Amino acid sequence: MSIRAPLNPRILSRLLKHYAAFRAYVEHEDALVNNRVLWNINIQGFLFATYGISLQKLAQGGHHGPEVFLLQFLIGILPVLGASISYYSWRGVQAAQSSIRNLEDKWNGVLKDEYLLSEDSSMLPWLTGGGAKQAHDKGLEAPLGVPRLFIITWLAILCVEIVFWAIVHAPHSGGTPIRITAPTTRGAVSITPILPITPGGMERRIPSAVERSAGTERPVSRATPGDRSSLQTRPRRPLTPPPPT
């Protein structure tokens, strides 16, 4: 059976002052949570924008020497920076949540020891949650979850970068990389990305559609790891259409 609130005006006034002090501290912690989440979101937006612009600049090309190195360094360090900022923001929200729980425990102790009351029988609103114990914890799911999402996103981006870097800079099996050339109907030469020489020193060459249809595919040429002549783009004689019948 719950105990009724004291009717003595002096005791009631003291109880209200006590409640106002605890409630103000809870509002202070809630403001800290809000600020930590907001500045984290703002910083993450800036970092994502910088990451996208850096990728675009690197993909456009036209940069040489230190510029390429700085762009690659920036792209590599941004995921680490973003994940670290989100981690500290998450820790800050956890600290505020712990402080609020300590305030609730202390307030319940004050009600019980000094006023012989419980939180249900004091005729005052609960410090947090409005009477539902899990309401405040559910309200903190977003402040705690958003930093985690940023951390997971940045770590995923970092893993993709590491895998891509390993693939691009992995040693090619088969010798010196060469270019694949394929003649076109206009007599020009199309250059495809670099591929390694196949075992046996054979150059990998793609026949044109005209050669495949006419059955006159040119034989593949020999290339050795020390031969750089295959890197040169040689002009091809344009193909003339057959005379009309």
* Chain segment 204-219, per-residue pLDDT in tens: 445 555 555 555 555 4
3-state secondary structure 56-73: HHHHHCCCCCHHHHHHHH
Range list of H helices, 127-233: 135-139, 141-168, 209-214
Angle between helices 66-114 and 141-168 (to 10 degrees): 160
**Of 62-66, 98-102, 134-138, 173-177, where does mean pLDDT reach its minimum?**
173-177
> Mean pLDDT throughout 69-95?
93
pLDDT score at 58? 84
- DSSP type of residue 236: P
In the chain, the percentage of residues whose pLDDT exceeds 70 is: 64
Predicted TM-score of the model (pTM): 0.62
Rounded CA separation 112/87 (Å): 38
Cα 119–123–126 angle (5° rounding)? 45
Buried b (16+ CB within 10 A) or exposed e, 78-107: bbeebbebbbebbebbeebbebbeebbeeb
pLDDT-based confidence at residue 128 (cuts at 50, 70, 90): confident
The pLDDT of residue 73 is above 70: yes
The residue-averaged pLDDT of 107-127 equals 77
Beta-carbon contacts of 95 under 8 Å, excluding residues fewer than 6 positions away, are none
pLDDT at 83: 96
Predicted local distance difference test score (pLDDT) of residue 203 = 44
Q: What percent of the chain has pLDDT over 90?
A: 28
Instruction: Tell me: pLDDT of 75 over 70.
Output: yes
For residue 46, pLDDT over 90 is answered with: yes
